[in-house]
Structure 1
Amino acid sequence: MTGLSLHAVDAATGRPAAGMRVRVLRAGSRRRVLAEGRLGADGSLDHPIVRTRLAAGLYEVVFAIGDFVGAAGEGFLEEAAIRFRIDDPDGHCHLPLKFTAFGVALFRGC
């Protein structure tokens, strides 16, 4: 399986981040937006990038945390931008994000 999958959970409530805006970019000198959308009811991004073979190189995912938690009337973080490298184009990279209005944790689930 190739591609990139994203999943986000609000650690303060234990709920998936349904509706959170995200962008996936090719980073570095060839910087461009590859995907953007909103996370679904399960907190995952349903986008063709999930099934697309990505070339080796630098990528960045940007989670719009401020807009998401702003509805609750509190927050500190506006965006969480994570830059990462894909070395194996034939592999699948899963990036699960756990966040609150004040902090984030992301690990490589590849």
Structure 2
Amino acid sequence: MSGGISVHVVDVTRGLPAESMQVEIFQLGVPEPIAEGCLSSKGTLDHPIAQKQVEPGVYEVVFYVGDFYRQLGYPLPDFPFVDVMPFRFGVSDVQQHYHLPLKVSPWGFSLFRGG
């Protein structure tokens, strides 16, 4: 696969994909999301941006972690430790694919550039 941005989220509290978590992808300087939606049953954002070449620049993915756990019935406090989680990253080589695997719980996360 050449180009594109993809995400894959796993809920480590259950050991399952984070199905239905809301995600938005922005290119900084562009006011509207360039991709958005709820994650599939595989924990992926099924959006054409995963196969579409993007421009060089700075991007931000926003994961709505608190809303996801509330929807599952987790008893979160009014101010959850992990709530709306933005992650900024740079795209220099538009020929490469930028895959962002996220492991998440209500108390922490791990995100890196995957292969």
AA of the residue aligned to 1:58:
V
1:46 matches 2:46:
yes
Task: Please list every run of at least 4 consecutive aligned residues from structure 1 whose deviation after the TM superposition is greater than 4 angstroms.
Answer: none
Per-residue deviation at 1:9? 0.4
1:20 matches 2:21:
yes
1:7 maps to 8
Structure 2: 5+ residue runs without aligned partners? none
2:99 maps to 94
Name the TM-score, length of structure 1 as normaliser: 0.92
Contact 1:2/1:90 (8 A) holds in 2: yes
Give the SS at the match of 2:101: strand
Structure 1: 5+ residue runs without aligned partners? none
CA distance in 2, matches of 1:39, 1:99: 14
CA distance in 1, matches of 2:56, 2:88: 13
CA distance in 2, matches of 1:86, 1:47: 18
Contact 1:11/1:100 (8 A) holds in 2: yes
Per-residue deviation at 1:41? 0.1
Name the TM-score, length of structure 2 as normaliser: 0.89
Per-residue deviation at 1:31? 4.4
Identity of aligned residues (%): 40
**CA offsets 1:18-48 (integer angstroms, 9 cap, x no match):** 0000000001x44431011000000000001
Instruction: Provide the aligned C-alpha RMSD in A.
Output: 1.2
Q: Aligned residue pairs: how many?
A: 109
